[in-house]
Structure formats: C-alpha cells, structure tokens
Chains A and B, each alone.
Chain A
C-alpha cells in the first residue's frame, strides 16, 4: 500500500534545511561566540593574575624568634612585629597567633589574669589559645615552630599545627 500525497500541504520550495542541520551561518556564529567566550575567560584569568601581587612588602610569614634561652620557663612573650605569642612551658615551646579569630584585632596578654584578651569585642583566651569567653568563633591557631641549624627558634605562620604539638628544647 502506498500513501497518496496530500496535495493540500504545500511543498517548500528551494533548498530547505532539516531542523537539526547546521547552516553555514549557525556554524560561523557558534565558532565566533566560542572564540569570544574563550578569549573572555582568558582575560578574566589574566586580570585575576594581575590583581594578585607576586611580591608583598609585608613582614615575612616565616621568621626567626631568637635563641630559646631568651624565653624563661612559664612565660608568654608577645612579638610585636610578627603578632605572635611565644609561650614557654615546662614541657616545651609553642607559638600562638595574637590575631583574634573574631575580626582580626590584636589581642593582649594579661599576666595578672593569665588570659589573652581582645580589646575590640571582649574575647578571652587561655595562653594555649583555647577560648574562654567572647564572640571569637575559633581558638587562636598554633603555628609550626622548630629550631634552625644554629639553634634559633623558627616560626612558620603559614603552617598551622595541633595545639598538642610542642617543641622540646
């Protein structure tokens, strides 16, 4: 059985493209948009690189804290330039950040109360950095501390360590 042609439907004249066929114009449009998209992403990437400085004129994140003998046992010493407390306990050394974990204010060590206190919003910490009071969301971080070959303390602020790790000298 054959189907008779329905003459009431007009036949399209000339070359008609099937719906999913790619015309030359579509192809050129897509390739142009693709190229512009890649160029756009690339310019975002190089702009991001441009705005990220490679050299910082800031205090180095890794620094020497001098000879261990400078720090008496059971003492907390604030290093102004580095914003770090060097704490020496009978079991060893550790380095605690002096920057409040709430909004970045510089805390102060109060030996008479045995507390590290933030002047901005009243957070209080123990000398090992654990929070006692206030809005700070996290304890003060401990930084990696080691000895150099010539016997100085070396603190690396880029490396956070567990509070249990202490440096025995």
Chain B
C-alpha cells in the first residue's frame, strides 16, 4: 500500500503539470528548500532560515501567530455570516436573531466570530505588551513597532464597528456614547460625528457606514499592514530574542 502511494507520488512528480508548478524539484537540500520558499508567493515574505531559539515558546509565546490565526478565523466566519445578514434597520436585528435560532449552525458561527473578536483584541494587546517589555520597539524594529501600533488601532476599530452590527440596545447605546465622545473634539468634532454616522442620530446610514467599514475597508487595511508587518520581521533580522532564552548558544 505504502509503496504504491510512493510510486503514485513519484509518477505525479514526473508530470508536466507538477513540474510547471513546483519548478525546483524535491526540497531535499538547503538550496532547494530556500528556493522553494523564495519562489512561493505565500512563503516569500517569511524568512528562509530562522534561529532555533526564536521558535521556542518563551521567545514569543506565539502571540503574533495567535493574533493572525484569530484574524483568519474572523475573516472566514465573518464572510459566512455575511450570507445571512442585511445591513438595514430593523432587518439587521432579525438576521442576527435568525442566525441564533433559525440558521443551521448559525449560533456556532456567530459565537465563533464574537469570541474570536474578543480573543483577538486580547491577543493583540498581549502581543504588544510582550514586544514592549522585550524592547522590540528599538532599532532596527522601530518601523515595525509603528506598523504594529496602527494594526492595534485597526483591530480596535474593527471591534468597535462590529459592535453596532447586531443592532440591539447594547450596540445602539455603545455607538451613541462612542460617537458623542467624537463630538467632544474641538471645532471639528460635530462635523466628524455627522460624517461617521451619516446623520445626527445612530440610524440606517450609521449602520450601513459601520458595515462597509467593518467588512471591506478595515479588513483590507489590516490585511495589507499584516503583510508589511510579517515582511518587516524578516527584513529586520527576525524576532527580538532575550539572550537568556538562548541558553548561551545560538
């Protein structure tokens, strides 16, 4: 059985289609492994080599990876929720209730999206504190630190815009209070609030604006900045590692 599988795989590797996709042959030497990473769109911004100590749990607690995985979970569950959600009053509230009680596995998806959102805020904050206390904001990582701070803000804006979408009392009053904080800004506050809400009250326009921000604009910004963030880690020479974690050997 195993030998047939291997020979089938080998025959597959000989085909023209396989060779047109995987140009470098089997990744069995350091050179071909590096070329495999370089030549792949999804891998090319990751480092070809990493130091062993930067892979240890205590080096990062994988907080950045956990944040990214949660982002992917939110992307997948969010897109699935969009199939049953109309961003209009009062239909939005009914759709949210339908997801809970009528749609098959809707309550699972909704809770996954909600819990992953809470966890992502937690993970991103924890990630930031960890990087801060490891002095990860110091040269040559200053630029990536700033990108990270912007990503934290984008995460919070995503969280806040998503808060309105269930269109229940909690959502309405949270956004009423939050946008009134905007209007406390001197001179431009009231104008900015009007633009954000698309009106003077939290109504249909506000729901639609928050929806577009939540499902298109902010995720796109986040996706772009996450790409820069990962690429920059590689360009700046990998993670900041405490010398102690390496036990004195590289």
User: Does A105 contact B177, Cβ atoms closer than 8 Å?
Assistant: yes
Note all chain A residues with C-beta closer than 8 A to B179: 104
Note all chain B residues with C-beta closer than 8 A to A51: 195, 198
Note all chain B residues with C-beta closer than 8 A to A104: 176-177, 179-180
User: Does B199 contact A53, Cβ atoms closer than 8 Å?
Assistant: yes
A56 at interface, CB cutoff 8 A: yes
Which label, helix, strand, loop or mixed, suits the secondary structure of the A interface? Answer: loop
If the complex has contacts A52-B194, A103-B181, are A58 and B201 also in contact, measured as CB distance less than 8 A? yes
In the complex, the number of residue pairs spanning A and B with C-beta atoms less than 8 Å apart equals 33
Among A48, A52, A57, A103, the residue within 8 A (CB) of B204 is A57
User: Does B177 contact A53, Cβ atoms closer than 8 Å?
Assistant: no
Query: How near does chain B come to A121, taking the closest CB pair, in angstroms?
Result: 9
Instruction: Give complex CA distance A119, B173 in Å.
Output: 12
The range of chain A's interface size is: 10 to 19
Note all chain A residues with C-beta closer than 8 A to B204: 57
User: Does A105 contact B176, Cβ atoms closer than 8 Å?
Assistant: yes
A120 at interface, CB cutoff 8 A: yes
User: Does A56 contact B173, Cβ atoms closer than 8 Å?
Assistant: no
Among B176, B198, B203, the residue within 8 A (CB) of A103 is B176
Note all chain A residues with C-beta closer than 8 A to B234: none
Instruction: Give complex CA distance A105, B173 in Å.
Output: 8
Q: A22-65: contact bitstring with B at CB < 8 Å (1 yes, 0 no)? A: 00000000000000000000000000100111001110010000
User: Does A103 contact B180, Cβ atoms closer than 8 Å?
Assistant: yes
B200 at interface, CB cutoff 8 A: yes
Q: B188-206: contact bitstring with A at CB < 8 Å (1 yes, 0 no)? A: 0000001100111101110
Closest residue of chain B to A121, judged by CB?
Answer: B177
Would you list 14 pairs from A and B whose C-beta atoms are within 8 A, ordered by A residue?
A: A51-B198, A52-B194, A52-B195, A53-B198, A53-B205, A57-B199, A57-B205, A103-B177, A104-B176, A104-B179, A104-B180, A105-B173, A105-B177, A120-B177
